[in-house]
Structure 1
Amino acid sequence: MGHYITIATCNLNQWALDFEGNRDRILESIKEAKRQGARLRVGPELEVCGYGCLDHFSENDLYDHSWETYGQILADPATHDILLDIGIPIIHKSIKYNCRIISYNGQILLIRPKLYLANDGNYREMRYFTPWNRPKYYEEYQLPKFIAKITGQNRVTFGDCIVETLETRLGCETCEELFTPESPHIAMALDGVEIFTNSSGSHHELRKLDTRLQLITEATEKCGGVYLYANQKGCDGDRLYYDGCASIIVNGKMVAQGSQFSLQDVEVISATIDLDDVRSYRNQKSASNQAVNQSSTYKAIQTDVELSPSSHVFDPTIIPTKTRPIKFHLPEEEIALGPACWLWDYLRRSKCGGYFLPLSGGIDSCATAVIVHSMCRLVVASISDPQVLTDIQALTHDPSFVPKTPQEIAEKLFYTSFMGTENSSAETRSRAKELASKIGSYHVDLNMDNLVSSVVSLFEVATGKRPIFKIFGGSQTENLALQNIQARLRMVLSYLFAQLLPWTRGKSSAGLLVLGSANVDECLRGYLTKYDCSSADINPIGGISKTDLKRFIAWAEINFELPILNDFITATPTAELEPITADYVQSDEIDMGMSYDELSRFGRLRKVDKCGPLAMFIKLYHEWSQPPYNLTAEQVAEKVKRFWFFYAINRHKMTTMTPAYHAEQYSPDDNRFDLRPFLINPRFPFASKKIDEIVKAINERNKEIDSNNISVD
């Protein structure tokens, strides 16, 4: 007759250390799960305190506050009559663990610590926690006194166990454990676990979601079962955006999927599943034969929990949820939505007066402006959400403000400025002005030549020397210094205008957040001035490649109905820091000595594939010596050496880079993601000698081949 169970999982926009706000969002998700008829609710990893607390996890206060917050949740009658899986950090025997608590009707059934910790890239879990790397092992845990008063329990089971209800078995798998070679769901499935819950704190990277969902679907396609994936969503106070996408998968097929990007603080999805489908699926495989061969089993926490109250009678009103296709966004959509949601969370939680952007007329600042426009579009689309409406009215200090268009929001919260000099072209000034008009930002068009001249004159008075540009006969040192003066003065002006522009309009005294607009490739190469207008409060494109930004702008031109964007795509990328003459226009790619496509490849090989100069040369020789590149070994070697030289001499710039939205695996962000020295021998002499030896060997081999071919002819 079927064993139908309605289960729920969720995306929660938690904020690090916001215990009361996190508590309220957890409670709302539980209530919503019950409204949807669910008997099991799964939440994100470390949802009580927020996943991204970083070194705050070293503070004992955090664990006390987490228990106090959890006690309030447990004591609330609204959390009864549903099996709860809640993420929380816990100290056990003086050791800190990343845990899940399974509870029912105010009783703690199991505390399950994380077995395998994430410890690469943005993750430093082993800096804070200890892995419970003892599968199927368990102990007793002494509850805090005030929790014992709430539950009536003194001790509960702590360890790698499973929970058995009257109908089925449930097991936990936490985030990183899904990605490990020997994932716990395999052993649990062979021990009869039919429902797997996964609390996660997984962040967004371009093109990453398909990897995550592939692992989840493959888990139950291989083993059979029901997989509930919960995730945090939003900016919890750092560079990462957690991209939600809570999911319910049955036997490798998606039955429910939450949004990857949205402004909802609480999003609950549910599905009604038939346990008989799992049992039938498993009986078609060899799992039953393997299961009886298992020499060790999990401790099962026996309960009287009934997840399927109507399982003994047929109820025609209970209908299993149908499967559905998995939804993925295009990378261009990910750029439009992820950084926009991140910007919204950052703005509403910092309670500043809006954003200020130096809008140069180039594609990078253009992309940043369009992402802010996308944020405004999302707010308008979500204005029926009470929290979104409350937030926008608080930010604008207007309790009657109900925006109908993105431009209405931009007019109040987004400020742009073209800071021109005699080196700026009429085209870039015009593009910046028209884009600002189309998206509705409050735009200031100014010339800063007097300011630049004053600084140069000050230097001349102090030293008796006046620098001139290279095209007028100056040295490279003079040329670079004159460019840097303009760039750094724009940073000073940006912060001045960010503080005072709202005041000039009679707005709130709250200042603006300055947005940076240096892309990931320029950061990697160091093609920016230290403390120039790339220095800002936050940078929504600092982890996005130039190639992807161009694709995003082409997508936005159509989808956001902004024809002006085509002018940005077709324009030659230029810093406009040198004079324009009849014979010379500054070009970014010429200045860098490499193309943006080449930079992306260098970046991926360096960070993702962990290549040093020698390994990078070997890989690129195999790629670039073939069509359509047809480069010689010398040419490939020259490109590789040039990249590593400029990467090394500019590495120090990464120590001061503006905190940027993390979107690429090859981000060079020194402060969190890419921990490498900033004083390196830029010649890499040992590796360079090895490269030269290989180039010589290749050339000798090619001569030998050519000689043999001539002999044959």
Structure 2
Amino acid sequence: MHNYNFIRVGSASPTIKVADIKHNEECIINLLSEGVKKGISLLTFPELCITGYTCQDLFHQNALLEEAKKSIERIREKSTSYPIFFVIGAPLELDGQLYNCLIGICEGKILGIVPKTYLPTYSEFYELRWFTPSKENTSKTFKFNNDEIPFGTDIIFVHSKLKNCKIAIDICEDLWAPIPPSSFSALSGATIILNGSASNDIVGKSVYRKKLIEQQSARTVTAYIYASSGYGESTTDVVFGGHCMIYENGKLLKENTRFTLSSSLIYEDIDLEVLTNDRLKRNTYYDKSITKDYRQVTFSSTIKEVALERQIDPHPFVPKDESIRSIHCEEIFSIQTLGLAKRLEHIGCNKVVIGISGGLDSTLALLVCVKTFDLLGIDRKNIIAITMPGFGTTDRTYNNALSLMKELGVTQKEISIKEASLQQFKDIGHDPSILDVTYENVQARGRTQILMNLANKENGIVIGTGDLSELALGWATYNGDHMSMYGVNGSIPKTLIRYLIDWVSSTQVGENTKAILLDVLDTPVSPELLPPTDKGEIQQKTEEVVGPYELHDFFLYNMMRYGFSPCKVFMLGVKAFENIYSREIILKWLKKFYYRFFSQQFKRSCLPDGPKVGSICLSPRGDWRMPSDAVVKIWIDELESIN
């Protein structure tokens, strides 16, 4: 997995005893050993975990300070054979001042020491009573057993073998400052922030703490690994819950259960490529005017080849949580309706023309039109909805189209395209018994011609129905369903359209309309351009021709959102769809995806206007600018190399 820039990181909260350094040391070593068995390559411990955070004036006792240094040395020796980079917290004296430090160690070598920048001295905190802020330090090194160890807040630990594994350190209150030190280290290249903390728990604090880490991880585009003190700290006045969390670019990947009597260890596989590719896209990310000079401390450790345990979402466009999904659907539907409302208002138009097939895309587009007209106070009868039965139209889709138009109270029209298509076949000399692309596209373009001409007659505009998944694959007839005067679905993938219609059926319409919408959802996706079966059922099923849309939406998201290589998209797809699709099937459709994505760009280069609703959009005026004659060879060659 590490060939794809994954690294397993962990957060540990040992059960400690205040000032019982040997006990704490044993807990730390046990957690380190367990972490190595789990394949963890980076591990964070809480601040002052060697002594305990709550030693108070015992921090001024030389016996405690000397034993803490001895413990660091013992931990260093015992971890020599451990292929893991970890940080532990201890008080260290330098130049007559005491600092609250995190010490970075890897395979028996102390790599660097980072002192705490912001020392809280308010409410229950009194750190300035014992410790000195990092800004008071002038020394660049700390002499430890005759070794000069880099010391300071200007250190980034860089793995020599794993690309873009660059680690910086925050300590507790540093996160709570208006500008955390990790902001500067991230701008200087750090991709992973380790925060050893001792944050006590009071009601509501954990929620606020999570928001801070979420925001800092998102703003800095980093993985943020947080470990806080837990059971065993003094409870004279406060209690420490042992909160451990792992975030990646603002997303919580793993969190432990607080308030336990035992030590805690969590881990997750971080994708460094997600972070670096996001930074590549954001030209506002790096601001050289506020970056600082950092010392890079290079280290090398064995990155264990372990099976990826991270959960890969097979449907990245669709939130798993129903409440979040409902909120997203409401937002998307509002964006669609507001976009259409603005367009109609701007051009002084109060009529729209839309083709209704009884399928998913046209159904959603019609629902958007109805909501928009209600919003603008325009009679729904000004929505001219047309069903245009052709050679492949089935009774199911035809009846659903008619019923839906009737229930929604729009103007209904029916214009068969059969005779016009036969005439077109005659005009161009095509044998209608040959069911090829000409046979299909004559019908598709004929429908669009009807819509455009009727829009002229009614002084309205044609509303496009095509979706993002179809645009990615080029699954649209050029100057047929490819074209409109405003496309409301253009940045919505097929996998999400289903949930949007389901949301509308549950929240926006009556029971009769809901029943129709649910049957539309249950209908196979098809352009219905080929004749139905002898039983009158849909014969031409899109996903049997181009592949499952859930696969193509997964490919599209990971290719465009993160810029992943074809092999990485394949590896993630195998993980996401294990027990659903075989490796061979995933590889087959991934090749098809790249072929079609590259060859069909010319259709995307002249798309009609339409609102962007999510992070992926293929508009040539917005997110995606690609030459129509780009060659796909590099991408296919990589896939051909897969065994």
TM-score, with normalisation over the residues of structure 2? 0.48
TM-score, with normalisation over the residues of structure 1? 0.43
